Chain A
Amino acid sequence: MIFHPTILALLTASTLNALVLMAAALFAIGLLRRWNLADGSPGQVILERRTYLVSTAVGLVLLVQFVGLLLFVYNAERMSVLFSGAMCATGTLNVNGYGWPTLMLKMAGVFLAVLWLAVNQADNLARDYPLIRRKYALLLLMAPVFLAEAILQALYFLNLDPAVITSCCGSLFSDAGAGVASELAAWPPRPAMVVFFSVLGLTLGAAAVLWRAGRGGALFGVLSLTQFVVALAAVIAFLSLYVYEHPHHHCPFCLLKAEFDYIGYLLYGLLFAATGYGLTAAIHHHHGRLPSLSGVLPALARRHAGRALAFLLAFGLLAGGIILHSNLRLIQP
């Protein structure tokens, strides 16, 4: 265990988040059993009142989760000097088996919280709480994710042993190794680019259709998520190479370093914003069919699709700009 203030802060934050969601999940169980809007009894009034507490708390959880995600990556970057063989966050995350799962769960936590708040926003627009059961069922699903993240993160930090010689991005994301990371790195640039820009194009198209015509929400949602995964793969496969101007450096984290003008923060920020808006647009579109929401929600879904479109476009332009601006040439025109 390394006794470090940022680690203390991250442990505190995740523990608080997990506790808040566990408490909220307990409340959710009670609500799912007893909710009855037609009932004017004090019990129902109290339930309704508590929903305000829960939605505010989840909003706070999202904020903390987001700051925590940034801090987790940034801290991994910073701690790399403590481990032999680590040159960036990749090495620090590789010190034991809990690093990567923690990172994945942290990202999942951010998107789950965004999704929940979107459903909550929609529910609050209707006069009959049409989504209240779904919303609290979703909360029941979220709680284990946050709990698992808190536990994995604690295990990760408790098992950080400076004596371990870790492997960094050079070996994990090398085209020669085995495993998913290496396979992504070994993905030849030309097909990778074709897939990346095709998926991006399709997603942009779906966003435009939802924005202008108010159709194809489900497709757009699926594409948004696919695009997110493909974009991360693309960063490893070829985008990072263009940034580093080095034909074999496939690291998704070194992008965040000052040497590369912190371009990673912009790139990932745009990607997260686009995916977040994409998911909320899709879920709003889906719920827009409910009678009490059909008046307001479709318009909101379209607005979010418009924002997703703008962020996707910015992301695509940035990716294209990186490729064109780089001194590295991976494919001959």
Chain B
Amino acid sequence: MSIPPPTLELIRVTKTFHAGRSSEYQALRGIDLTIPSARVTALRGPSGSGKTTLLALIGALARPSSGRVRLDGEDISALPERFLADLRLRRFGFIFQRFNLIPGLTALDNILLPAYPLGLPYRALMARAEAVMTGLDIQRHAQTKVDWLSGGEVQRVAIARALINDPPIIIADEPTAHLDTALSKEFLAQLARLKAAGKTIVIASHDPLVFESGLVDCTTDLRDGLIVASAP
């Protein structure tokens, strides 16, 4: 299998928390990593290995303490906060551990959250939501508060929210950690569909199910803030 051009490149990236204080600790100690486009890349490692911190840097949620992050060739490591936010909005879709929907709002309102700041006309906004919900077969739950949805439905609403702005890259943080086997398999099936649609997917996980699914193209093993193994 040929490796396509990288969409994300990390060069000698470090991340230090509480710098200069007694609680200072280095979560990442110099990472070099390339993420190929239209592939599934998995970050694996025990808790505390730095995979969540790394995922945050990849997803433009935080800036590195040193080193460079390049997105499609552009250096984004010193970008002002508002541009990082704009990147997250347009280029990334996020699926979090426990999915992080906002309770009290309907499924539709949750799905639309990333679309609001774009300020699209109402019609276009609704058309987008309609398309995404139909693809995931949740349109009948649009007006249901997310508090009343089942585990599988919550999962699909979270995926819909990640897809509403049609981002090229999907970031998933331990998505199956709180799911039973059946739901985990269903989630991986959704992920396979996204991969087939040409999305670049980065996933942090230590769930064997993810790695056994055959979905993952590249695996990076982390320990103590360093890459210990990379395949292929």
Contact = CB atoms under 8 A, between A and B. Distances in A.
Q: What DSSP secondary structure best describes chain B's contact surface?
A: loop
Interface stretch (B27-35, B61-69, B168-176, B220-228): B61-69
A40 B80 contact: no
B79 A127 contact: yes
A128 B81 CA distance: 11
A124 interface: yes
Contacts of A163: none
A67 interface: no
Interface stretch (A41-49, A99-107, A209-217, A281-289): A41-49
A296 to B, nearest CB: 13
A124 B78 contact: no
Nearest to A49: B81
Contacts, number: 23
A37 interface: yes
Query: Is the interface on chain B under 10, 10 to 19, 20 to 34, or 35 or more residues?
Result: 10 to 19
B53 to A, nearest CB: 13
A124 B83 CA distance: 9
Contacts of A48: 80-81
Contacts of A40: 63-66, 77-78
Nearest to B67: A40
A41 B63 CA distance: 9
B19 interface: yes
Contacts of A41: 19, 65
B63 A45 contact: yes
Given A42-B19, A45-B63, A37 B81 contact: no
Contact of A38 (B19, B78, B82): B78
Interface in B61-115: 63-66, 77-83
Contacts of B81: 48-49
B65 A37 contact: no
Contacts of B63: 40, 45
Q: For B18, B64, B66, B78, which residue has the most chain A Cβ atoms within 10 angstroms?
A: B78
15 contacts: A37-B78, A37-B80, A40-B63, A40-B65, A40-B77, A40-B78, A41-B65, A42-B18, A42-B19, A45-B63, A48-B80, A124-B82, A127-B83, A128-B80, A129-B80
Interface of B: 18-19, 63-66, 77-83
Given A38-B78, A40-B65, A40-B66, 4 more contacts: A40-B63, A40-B77, A127-B80, A128-B80
